[in-house]
């Protein structure tokens, strides 16, 4: 059957993305971003990182360095829902540690240490909690992002309610690559 | 540099310094010592440690001297209260997350962080620990990484990528989670690491060190009735003195032999014996490849970091490698066959230690194919070997480890008499000595090959074209009408240049020498820390001095090597040579 023109563009493959970025200085960051968007669980798997290093002719350690530096990149499959707790100074002074602990407790996560990792996912893949250094919304501190929406002047009560609501609504679609 | 000078003021005194130089160099030239922890001359200036701050008049904030450059009329204060406060703060913050186990640290006494704390008069740590203690990386035979002692200066990352072109490690994570890491934090063994140990030489603290084999060796030396023999690599005699506090470049051959006897080794032999033997085998291999056909250029195979490198990065070029084992491994195979038989020793019971300038030698000794003696005796005994497999070399210790053993034994090396190596595996020539420096293997090979092919000695034995610390050296030699083109590279980044030429089919060379470390083995990863180019040159000069001191300067003149062929091996590249002195290589993946 001859293919018909559709308005929906097919997402590029990883190899196509690499081909597009190859040889351009500073292209790694954008490539990693696109590669993560390709992945259903919004993360960069080890095979993906290896393929990128090989395709871009970069040392594996350097690709790993960049992928671990930016909190945007995930090296583990992410949960269906995402909670991002700002742990910047302003949010911290207005109680973000308690918010983080509440979110962890509500989702039944134990043993998370901020000095070891910046994200954790529930074993059932329901939700991921991530900490970031600052959202740039300090005047509205403390802020927590729930499935992409930033909630300002968050309280423990509002957070608990937001988490309970997540259990009732379907998970958002994985973001599409442009 | 243009040579143009600018006048500046350092701590109130005026000084004339070269335009364009860094504040660090300028202050040093003006007599002001500015402390640094991360700066590594010619390699990296991350300006990450914050120790080298100085006050520049008119500047808003303090300036990091390692990356700031001088300008005409600049007024610099290197020890103002503001500078001192900033430096102390920087060190105190580093100490907050650094374990206070100096007393039991391998780098106690040579640690730059310890020095910094001492220099700045820090007597207490005001800040609490904020970082979780990471796990040790003991995955390799050669190196141990303790990230708890890491101050994130980035020197190791810089040498690994900028000097060696390996990039096994990088800085991963950010903020409090920043660490020196391999891909996926799996440890060095699961990375391209070649175990050259250059990272352990430049590490300011005890975060990367050689794997210590001294304890096991002390235990073995103390066992009654055992036979423990030792071999010493060429470069050790030019660096052991330095490791024990003597001037860099001190040549301590005889004193080193005396010290090893006092430590308790039953026989003190010389790896130079098998360096001469390497020339016989490798030289013959080269002549064979030149005359009868074979992969050219042929590349030397003495340097184990280099072998690890080509096995990982250029496996398709492995046929270019000489099949000769390194002198360390040739020695091991012969000590437990030829020598054991001669001395009436049980090869399975005798123990052999090597003193090497190298951390990769520890790995080389543990390669499964390096059990030539066991295979030899097993084949003699028939189908079923009567002993468990043993390695030809039991331990490879670095110069630093030997220095620690000598210190622990209370031996004052400066007062020891000069003693001679034991026979027969202690005889060597000047050609073997220069194996320890870049260009040395090439020069030694040419001295012998030239004479074998042309029937007359080289016009001059000093082959200047391949000497010195230039990264890649090349020369052309007329071998009885055949022009033989040779090249010498040290550091793996330079080796890459020659390998890429071979891969592209444009290499003009017949014979290439590669040494992994800057300056060759004198600059090896197991050598005294805090090395710089001047020290490498001093060690290098000591090697050439030893070459001139030894009466015999051509490997084929070594009487014990001649006897070895007559009594045991037969001829170079003969059947027994292939069994004991040659090896194979394989692709390596992470």
Task: Please give the pLDDT value at position B275.
Answer: 98
Asked if residues B392 and B332 have their Cβ atoms less than 8 Å apart, the reply is yes
Task: Please give the pLDDT value at position A176.
Answer: 45
Query: How far, in Å, CA of A69 to CA of A75, rounded?
Result: 11
Please determine, for residue A2, whether its predicted confidence score (pLDDT) is greater than 80: no
Asked if B175's CB is within 8 angstroms of A133's CB, the reply is yes
Banded model confidence at residue A1, pLDDT cuts 50, 70, 90: very low
CATH 3.40.50.1860 assigned to domain A81-166? The reply is: no
For residue A83, with 0-12 CB atoms within 10 Å meaning exposed, 13-18 middle and 19 or more buried, which class applies?
buried
Considering CB atoms only, which of A46, A62, A116 is closest to B170?
Answer: A62
The domain defined by B215-580 folds into Fe-only Hydrogenase (Larger Subunit); Chain L, domain 3 (3.40.950)
Please determine, for residue A24, whether its predicted confidence score (pLDDT) is greater than 60: yes
Asked if residues B361 and B194 have their Cβ atoms less than 8 Å apart, the reply is no
Task: Please give the pLDDT value at position B458.
Answer: 82
The yes-or-no answer on residue B41 being catalytic is no
Q: Report the DSSP beta bridge partners of residue B229.
A: B267, B352
Q: Which of A9-13, A44-48, B147-151, B558-562 shows the lowest mean pLDDT across its residues?
A: A9-13
Q: pLDDT digit string (tens) for B156-206? A: 999 999 999 999 999 999 888 999 999 999 999 999 999 999 999 999 999
Task: Please give the pLDDT value at position B40.
Answer: 93
Q: Where are the domains of chain B?
A: 1-130, 215-580
Phi, psi of B396 (to 5 degrees): -110, 115
| Residues comprising chain A, all counted | 178
The CATH label, of 3.30.70.2860, 3.50.50.60, 3.30.2080.10, 3.10.20.740, for the domain at B1-130 is 3.10.20.740
Which position among B38, B105, B196, B302 bears the catalytic label?
A: B302
Task: Please give the pLDDT value at position B382.
Answer: 78
Q: pLDDT digit string (tens) for A145-155? A: 999 899 999 99
Q: Is A49 on the interface with B (CB under 8 A)?
A: yes
Query: How far, in Å, CA of B193 to CA of B212, rounded?
Result: 19
Please determine, for residue A177, whether its predicted confidence score (pLDDT) is greater than 50: no
The yes-or-no answer on residue B255 being catalytic is no
Considering CB atoms only, which of A61, A63, A113 is closest to B168?
Answer: A61
Q: pLDDT digit string (tens) for B448-489? A: 999 999 998 888 888 889 999 999 999 999 988 889 999 999
Cβ contacts of A70 on chain B, cutoff 8 Å: 174
Task: Please give the pLDDT value at position B396.
Answer: 98
Task: Please give the pLDDT value at position A118.
Answer: 85
* Mean pLDDT to the nearest integer, B213-238: 96
Cβ contacts of B169 on chain A, cutoff 8 Å: 61
Asked if residues B37 and B153 have their Cβ atoms less than 8 Å apart, the reply is yes
Q: Is A110 on the interface with B (CB under 8 A)?
A: no
Please determine, for residue A178, whether its predicted confidence score (pLDDT) is greater than 50: no
Banded model confidence at residue A172, pLDDT cuts 50, 70, 90: low
Task: Please give the pLDDT value at position A10.
Answer: 78
Please determine, for residue B296, whether its predicted confidence score (pLDDT) is greater than 50: yes
Average pLDDT of chain B, as a whole number: 95
Query: How far, in Å, CA of B399 to CA of B402, rounded?
Result: 5
Asked if B172's CB is within 8 angstroms of A65's CB, the reply is yes
Report the percent of chain A where pLDDT is more than 90: 74
Q: pLDDT digit string (tens) for B331-386? A: 999 999 999 999 999 999 999 999 999 999 999 999 999 999 999 999 988 766 66
Q: pLDDT digit string (tens) for B230-276? A: 999 999 999 999 999 999 999 999 999 999 999 999 999 999 999 99
Task: Please give the pLDDT value at position A8.
Answer: 61
Considering CB atoms only, which of A65, A114, A133 is closest to B171?
Answer: A65
Task: Please give the pLDDT value at position B75.
Answer: 97
* Mean pLDDT to the nearest integer, B114-128: 94
Residue A152: C-alpha distances to residues A55, A94, A96, A114, A138 (Å): 42, 11, 11, 22, 9
């Amino acid at each position: 059957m001859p293919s018909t023109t559709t308005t929906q563009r097919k997402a590029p493959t990883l190899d196509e993305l690499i081909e597009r970025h190859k040889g351009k200085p500073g292209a790694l960051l954008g490539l990693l971003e696109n590669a993560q968007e390709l992945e259903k669980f919004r993360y960069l798997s080890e095979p993906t990182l290896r393929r990128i290093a090989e395709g871009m002719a970069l040392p594996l350690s350097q690709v790993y360095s960049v992928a671990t530096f930016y909190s945007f990149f995930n090296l583990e499959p992410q949960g269906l829902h995402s909670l991002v707790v700002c742990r910047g100074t302003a949010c911290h002074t207005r109680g973000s540690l308690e918010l983080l602990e509440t979110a962890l407790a509500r989702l039944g996560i134990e043993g998370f240490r901020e000095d070891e990792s910046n994200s954790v996912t529930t074993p059932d893949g329901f939700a991921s909690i991530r900490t970031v250094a600052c959202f740039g919304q300090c005047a509205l501190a403390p802020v927590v992002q729930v499935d992409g929406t930033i909630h300002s002047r968050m309280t423990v009560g509002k957070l608990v309610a937001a988490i309970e609501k997540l259990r009732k609504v379907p998970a958002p679609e994985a973001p599409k690559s442009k | 540099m243009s040579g143009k000078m600018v006048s500046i003021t350092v701590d109130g005194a005026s000084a004339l310094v070269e335009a364009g130089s860094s504040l660090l160099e300028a202050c040093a030239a003006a007599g002001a010592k500015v402390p640094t922890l991360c700066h590594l001359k010619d390699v990296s200036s991350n300006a990450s440690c914050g120790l080298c701050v100085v006050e520049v008049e008119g500047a808003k904030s303090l300036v990091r001297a390692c990356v700031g450059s001088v300008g005409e009329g600049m007024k610099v204060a290197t020890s103002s209260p503001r500078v001192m406060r900033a430096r102390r703060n920087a060190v105190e913050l580093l100490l907050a997350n650094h374990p206070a186990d100096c007393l039991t640290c391998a780098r106690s006494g040579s640690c730059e962080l310890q020095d910094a704390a001492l220099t700045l008069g820090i007597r207490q740590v005001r800040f609490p620990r904020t970082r979780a203690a990471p796990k040790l990386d003991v995955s390799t035979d050669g190196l141990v990484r303790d990230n708890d002692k890491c101050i994130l200066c980035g020197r190791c990352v810089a040498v690994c990528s900028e000097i060696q072109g390996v990039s096994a490690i990088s800085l991963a994570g950010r903020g409090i989670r920043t660490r020196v890491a391999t891909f996926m934090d799996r440890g060095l063994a699961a990375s391209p690491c070649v175990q050259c140990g250059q990272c352990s030489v430049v590490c300011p603290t005890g975060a990367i060190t050689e794997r210590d084999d001294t304890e096991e060796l002390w235990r073995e030396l103390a066992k009654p009735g055992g036979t423990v023999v030792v071999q010493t690599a060429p470069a050790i005699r030019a660096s052991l003195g330095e490791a024990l506090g003597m001037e860099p470049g001190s040549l301590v051959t005889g004193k080193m032999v005396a010290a090893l006897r006092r430590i308790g080794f039953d026989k003190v032999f010389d790896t130079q014996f098998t360096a001469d033997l390497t020339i016989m085998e490798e030289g013959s291999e080269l002549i064979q490849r030149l005359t009868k056909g074979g992969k050219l250029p042929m590349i030397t195979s003495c340097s184990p970091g280099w072998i690890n490198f080509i096995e990982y990065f250029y496996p398709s070029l492995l046929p270019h490698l000489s099949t000769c084992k390194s002198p360390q491994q040739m020695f091991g195979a012969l000590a437990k066959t030829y020598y054991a038989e001669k001395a009436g020793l049980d090869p399975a019971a005798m123990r052999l230690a090597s003193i090497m300038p190298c951390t990769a030698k520890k790995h080389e000794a543990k390669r499964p194919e390096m059990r030539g003696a066991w295979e030899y005796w097993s084949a003699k005994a028939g189908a079923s070997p009567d002993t468990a497999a043993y390695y030809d070399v039991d331990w490879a210790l670095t110069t630093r480890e030997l220095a620690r053993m000598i210190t622990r034994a209370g031996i004052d090396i400066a007062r020891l008499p000069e003693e001679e190596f034991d026979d027969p595996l202690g005889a060597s020539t000047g050609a073997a000595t220069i194996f320890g420096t870049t260009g040395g293997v090439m020069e030694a090979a040419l001295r012998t090959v030239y004479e074998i092919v042309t029937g007359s000695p080289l016009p001059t034995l000093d082959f200047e074209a391949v000497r010195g610390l230039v990264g890649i050296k090349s020369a052309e030699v007329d071998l009885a009408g055949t022009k033989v083109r040779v090249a010498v590279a040290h550091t793996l980044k330079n080796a890459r240049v020659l390998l890429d030429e071979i891969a592209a089919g444009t290499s003009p060379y017949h014979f290439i020498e590669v040494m992994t470390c800057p300056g060759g083995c004198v600059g090896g990863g197991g050598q005294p820390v805090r090395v710089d180019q001047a020290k490498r040159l001093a060690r290098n000069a000591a090697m050439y001095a030893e070459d001139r001191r030894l009466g015999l300067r051509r490997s084929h003149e070594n009487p014990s090597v001649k006897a070895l062929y007559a009594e045991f091996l037969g001829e170079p590249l003969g059947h027994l040579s292939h069994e004991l002195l040659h090896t194979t290589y394989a692709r390596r993946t992470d």
